[in-house]
Amino acid sequence: MQAILALEDGTVFHGRAFGAAGERTGEVVFNTGMTGYQEVLTDASYKGQMVCMTYPHIGNYGVNSLDLESRVPQAEALLVRDVCEEPSNWLSEGSLPDLLARHNVMGITDIDTRALTKHIRLFGVMRAALSTVETDPAALARKAAQAPDISALNLVAQVSTREAYHWTDGTPSEWSAERYGYREPALPHPARPYRVVVLDTGVKYNILRRLVDSGCDVWVVPYDTLAADVLRYEPEGIVFPNGPGDPEAAVGTLESARSLMGVKPIFGICLGHQILGLAAGGRRFKLKFGHHGFNHPARLMRTGAVEITSQNHNYAIAMDSLNLDEIEVTHINLNDGTLEGTRHRHMPIYSVQFHPEASPGPHDSSMTFQPFVAMMEEARR
């Protein structure tokens, strides 16, 4: 089945459809990872976006139930150069096209993803329409231009849980050294687990797993849970995790963050980092084409060490908008100098723009959960 991808500026790509048929709109971004397509697809941070994979061969090792980062695929569409329909891997439970078809997600293959990526790098992220039914490229480009701007959407509300739940799973035993050639360092567990509340703005499963691995008793609540209701769980720590879209659109989460700052130890990741930055009086801005992939260098300001990190965000907090007498800059991005991490100088608040849980990605920053644990331990004393 033929498919057409049209950008809002009139640029058109012709290819072959896989997954679902029909028509979709969304914001096009590119991901620079060579693997991890299933984790990318199921990462709620990609809600409202079509993901162009820069690595050409996608789907080679199939899909499985271990590599899900949410219940279902969240991206609006997957754009690839060459999709593999007959995967080969001992953990594979099916093919990538079958996964997309089962969840009504569109894909397009046989397009020049290098050209698409270079176009986005040059002109910035833009809206697009993907269709197997519209045959007029100009008409499809007009549909792309008429699609809602992602900044105008409260995407967090679309991906958040509606009911609170208790999460108990740590890292699966299948994620062993035999599979990855790397084993996470053993973490000391407290005699009594730290009760942690996570406000679900689109949290990845592996953030929850890593919290459990770090000795936390994890409760997940809807994104707009009031601060008073969060405190009814008697948490020792609070996490504002990743999620999609503009942090200013997550109004309920932002209000809770402002109320909870200084009350309990707080850890922010990705969107959560941006929400905490706004709550501290900072200003957010949209990046030209975002950071999407797991090869982004972040420098630790105290030591000068560099970690290669996993990232997925289109917005950032302007460093010059923060009160540096109150906020310490802990990490910066070595590619473009943007803010990658902060620590409050007087309150137990720590946040990072990158994804320390990876999945997919390198393990350089896996110990980033430990400062949060240390803050909770200090609060016990």
Whether residue 56 is preceded by a cis peptide bond, meaning omega within 30 degrees of 0, is: no
In whole angstroms, give the CA distance from residue 190 to residue 174.
25
pLDDT for residue 381: 84
**Under the phi-then-psi rule, with left for phi > 0, alpha for psi from -120 to 50, and beta for the rest, what region is 293?**
left
Which residues belong to the active site? Answer: 270, 355, 357
Tell me the CATH number of domain 156-380, given options 3.20.20.70, 3.20.20.80, 3.40.50.880, 2.40.110.10: 3.40.50.880
Helices (H), the chain: 37-42, 96-102, 113-123, 137-146, 155-159, 177-180, 205-213, 227-231, 251-260, 271-279, 369-380
pLDDT for residue 366: 85
Q: What is the assigned CATH class of domain 2-148?
A: alpha beta
Our separate counts of H helices and E strands in the chain read 11, 19
Q: Model pTM?
A: 0.94
pLDDT for residue 186: 58
Q: Decide: residue 153, CB within 10 A, 0-12 exposed, 13-18 middle, 19+ buried.
A: middle
Query: 344-348: which pairs have CB atoms within 8 A and are 24 or more residues apart?
Result: 344/261, 344/280, 347/261, 347/262, 347/266, 348/264, 348/265, 348/266, 348/375, 348/378, 348/379
3-state class (DSSP) for residue 128: strand
- pLDDT tens-place string over residues 6-55: 999 999 999 999 999 999 999 999 999 999 999 999 999 999 999 999 99
Domain ranges in the chain are 2-148, 156-380
Q: Which two tokens stand for residue 236?
A: 């020792």
Q: 12 has which bridge partners?
A: 6
In whole angstroms, give the CA distance from residue 43 to residue 295.
17
Helices (H), 185-327: 205-213, 227-231, 251-260, 271-279
3-state class (DSSP) for residue 86: coil
pLDDT for residue 174: 67
pLDDT for residue 185: 58
In whole angstroms, give the CA distance from residue 358 to residue 46.
15
pLDDT for residue 171: 85
pLDDT for residue 190: 80
Residue with tokens 């900072």: 282
Residues of the chain with pLDDT under 70: 174-188
- Read off the DSSP letter of residue 153: S
344: nearest Cα among 292, 279, 294, 288? 279
Q: Rg of the chain's alpha carbons, rounded to an integer?
A: 20
